[in-house]
């Protein structure tokens, strides 16, 4: 009887637990957890998603929105599996890594009566992302591009000419010592160093930018380390997201940054009378693509895929672009029309992105690079299990690890301090002994 009572209690406890878990699941189904780059969305657009989702599905949703500013920080959280984000926004080489490591869920594009806006993504970008596909896994089934752009040099026109900024050489010029801000992104820094180290070979056409930025051989790692260490004295700081603001205040003259940050900074600076420019160096650079993916630990895949779809609505894409400065992967005619500025005196070939009718258009070349710029750039690929080696090199360059000479100095200082304290104590002891002996002598004399 007693035993039966115990079993019943246990069953009741299990039932209660199951019911409470069920409730938690139901609550979680009304939450959408997004992990995105900082400064990478129009906040009103984000808030309006709730109403749109309700209109489309009849369901209410609450958004939990968190931000990161370094790809690897986000990746570590996903790899550890401690976070149940429904949506994250990595760059291409991280998407490739996530695909390889089976960290993603396919995106369901069955939106019922809602149109599938993801079809608005430029075919050019789909093709680029397709290069990251893994056996049996097409990237475009697992990722929808969000924003894209180039890495280049943002410069203050008062101190740097466009000609100087149009080669990576300016970063190594001692004249700019302490005037340069570098994006705290090891793949951008690595690629830049390797490209610059091979300026001659690139001119001769014996190597390509794509080969260089994706070379992780021991020789390439050592070469990048050498060049980055030479560059270090010129660097005023490694910035995650504050470089654009420092540039608008004239606190730095050069900034290795991404085109979207450059667009934002150029506009903000203009308002306060600081003139900034942006160049993608002639040697070549990387062209990057950030995309929405659903991690395998996601708990609200329905809302996640609706959010991705919403981001691809041309009007939403335009509002995001206007707020953050970056360029949407959506390539619809209304976007091209909104971006044409008849006052510009540059005409670009954007047919690769918008189609043949856009072969000579007046569109901001910092946002949308001319085809000639795209041709000298390449996409960063995952370094696989050699990533660790490159990251170790990166921390040696940045000095995250304690330098051996600093360690010796610390030991020497503490050693000296120790001997000095011991010496003082010995002296004191000797003096005490002397006094004691003198007192004893005096006593005996009395
Ligand atoms: N402030 C948001 C910046 C996001 C830019 N992503 C670029 C990644 C380049 N690898």
Residue 408 has pLDDT above 80, yes or no: no
Residue 420: per-residue pLDDT? 78
**Residue 410 predicted with pLDDT over 80:** no
187-199 per-position pLDDT tens digit: 999 999 999 999 9
Report which ligand 1 atom has the smallest distance to the Cα of 93. Answer: 10
Percent with pLDDT over 90 in the chain: 82
Report the residue among 91, 256, 264 best suited for mutation to probe ligand 1: largest number of ligand atoms under 8 A from its CB: 91
The answer, yes or no, to whether residue 140 has pLDDT greater than 80, is yes
For the chain, give the percent of residues with pLDDT over 70: 90
| pLDDT number for residue 446 | 54
DSSP string, 336-378: HHHH--TT-S--B--HHHH-GGGSSB---TTTS--HHHHHTEE
Q: What is the pLDDT of residues 205-262, one digit of tens each?
A: 999 999 999 999 999 999 999 999 999 999 999 998 899 999 999 999 999 999 999 9
Q: Judge contact between 68 and 74, C-beta under 8 A.
A: yes
pLDDT band at 16 (very low <50, low <70, confident <90, very high): low
Instruction: Tell me what the mean pLDDT of segment 279-288 comes to.
Output: 98
- DSSP-H helix ranges across 243-386: 243-248, 259-271, 301-311, 314-324, 333-339, 351-354, 371-375
| Ligand 1 binding pocket mutation candidate from 35, 37, 39 (most atoms within 8 A of CB) | 37
CA distance 169 to 160: 12
Pick the closest to residue 328 from 311, 304, 352 (CA basis).
311
> What residue's CA is closest to ligand 1, atom 9?
288
Please state the rounded mean pLDDT for residues 95-121.
97
User: pTM score, two decimals?
Assistant: 0.86
The arithmetic mean of pLDDT across residues 301-315, rounded, is 98
User: Looking at residue 424, what is its pLDDT?
Assistant: 84
Q: What is the pLDDT of residue 262?
A: 98
Residue 317 and residue 328 in contact, taking contact as beta carbons nearer than 8 Å: yes
| Pocket residues: Cβ below 6 A from ligand 1 | 37-40, 91, 241, 258, 288, 290
Question: Closest ligand 1 atom to the C-alpha of 92?
Answer: 10
Q: From ligand 1's centre to the CA of 358, what distance in Å?
A: 26
Mean pLDDT across the stretch 109-115? 96
**258 CA from centroid of ligand 1 (Å):** 7
> How high is the mean pLDDT of the chain?
92
- Residue 131 pLDDT > 70, yes or no? yes
- Segment 288-310 shows an average pLDDT of 98
- The full DSSP string for 92-149 is HHHHHHHHHTT-EEPPP---TTS--GGGGB-HHHHHHHHTT-BTTB-HHHHEEEEEEE
Task: Kindly state the average pLDDT of the residues 321-341.
Answer: 98
**Contacts of the segment 246-250: beta carbons below 8 A, 24+ positions apart:** 246/181, 247/154, 247/156, 247/181, 247/274, 247/276, 248/272, 248/274, 248/276, 249/274, 250/156, 250/158, 250/274
> What pLDDT is stored for residue 423 in this prediction?
79
Quick check: 244 and 264 in contact, CB under 8 A?
Answer: yes
Pocket test for ligand 1, best of 326, 327, 380 (most atoms within 8 A of CB): 326
pLDDT band at 9, cuts 50/70/90?
low
Atom of ligand 1 lying closest to residue 380 CA: 10
Q: pLDDT tens for residues 383-394?
A: 999 999 999 999
Using the mean position of ligand 1's atoms as its centre, give its distance from the Cα of residue 28 in Å: 29
Q: What average pLDDT score do residues 391-401 get?
A: 88
In the numeric block, which tokens belong to residue 293? 């993916």
What CA–CA distances, in Å, run from 164 to 126, 167, 201, 291?
A: 34, 6, 20, 33
Residue 175 pLDDT > 80: yes
Mutate to test the pocket of ligand 1, among 89, 260, 380 (most ligand atoms within 8 A of CB): 260
Mean pLDDT, rounded, for 67-94? 96
The least confident of 118-132, 142-156, 278-292, 427-441 is 427-441
Atom in ligand 1 nearest the alpha carbon of residue 40: 2
Q: Whose CA is nearest to atom 6 of ligand 1?
A: 290
> What was the pLDDT predicted at 430?
80
């Amino acid at each position: 009887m007693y035993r039966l009572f115990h079993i019943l209690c246990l069953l009741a406890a299990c039932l209660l637990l199951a019911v409470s878990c069920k409730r938690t699941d139901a609550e979680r189904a009304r939450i959408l957890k997004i992990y995105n780059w900082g400064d990478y969305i129009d906040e009103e657009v984000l808030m309006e998603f709730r109403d749109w989702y309700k209109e489309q599905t009849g369901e209410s949703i609450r958004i939990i929105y968190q931000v990161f500013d370094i790809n690897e920080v986000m990746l570590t959280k996903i790899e550890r599996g401690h976070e149940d984000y429904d949506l994250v926004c990595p760059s291409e080489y991280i998407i490739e890594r996530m695909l390889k490591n089976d960290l993603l869920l396919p995106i369901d594009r069955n939106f019922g009566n809602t149109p599938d806006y993801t079809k608005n993504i430029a075919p050019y970008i789909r093709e680029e992302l397709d290069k990251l596909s893994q056996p049996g896994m097409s990237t475009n089934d697992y990722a929808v591009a969000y924003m894209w752009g180039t890495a280049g040099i943002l410069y203050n026109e008062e101190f740097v000419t466009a000609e100087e900024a149009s080669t990576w050489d300016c970063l190594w010029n001692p004249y700019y010592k302490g005037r340069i801000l570098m994006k705290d992104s090891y793949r951008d820094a690595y690629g830049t160093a390797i490209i610059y180290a091979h300026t001659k070979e690139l001119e001769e056409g014996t190597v390509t930018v794509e080969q260089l930025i994706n070379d992780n051989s021991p020789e390439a790692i050592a070469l990048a380390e050498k060049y980055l260490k030479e560059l270090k004295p010129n660097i005023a700081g490694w910035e995650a997201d504050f470089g654009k603001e420092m540039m608008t205040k004239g606190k730095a003259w050069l900034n290795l940054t991404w085109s979207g940050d450059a667009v934002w900074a150029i506009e903000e600076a203009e308002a306060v009378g600081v003139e900034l420019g942006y160049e993608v160096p002639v040697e070549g650079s990387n062209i990057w693509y950030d995309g929405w993916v659903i991690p395998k630990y996601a708990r609200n895949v329905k809302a996640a895929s609706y959010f991705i779809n919403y981001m691809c609505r041309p009007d939403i894409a335009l509002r995001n672009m206007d707020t953050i400065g970056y360029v949407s992967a959506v390539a619809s005619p209304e976007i091209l029309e909104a971006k044409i500025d008849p006052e510009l005196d540059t005409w670009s070939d954007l047919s690769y992105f918008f189609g043949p009718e856009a072969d000579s258009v007046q569109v901001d070349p910092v946002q949308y690079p001319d085809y000639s710029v795209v041709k000298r750039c390449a996409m960063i690929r995952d370094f696989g299990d050699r990533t660790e080696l490159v990251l170790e090199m990166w921390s040696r360059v940045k000095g995250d690890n304690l330098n051996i000479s600093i360690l010796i100095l610390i030991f020497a200082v503490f050693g000296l301090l120790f001997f000095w304290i011991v010496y003082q104590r010995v002296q004191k002891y000797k003096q005490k002994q002397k006094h004691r002996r003198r007192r004893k002598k005096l006593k005996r004399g009395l």
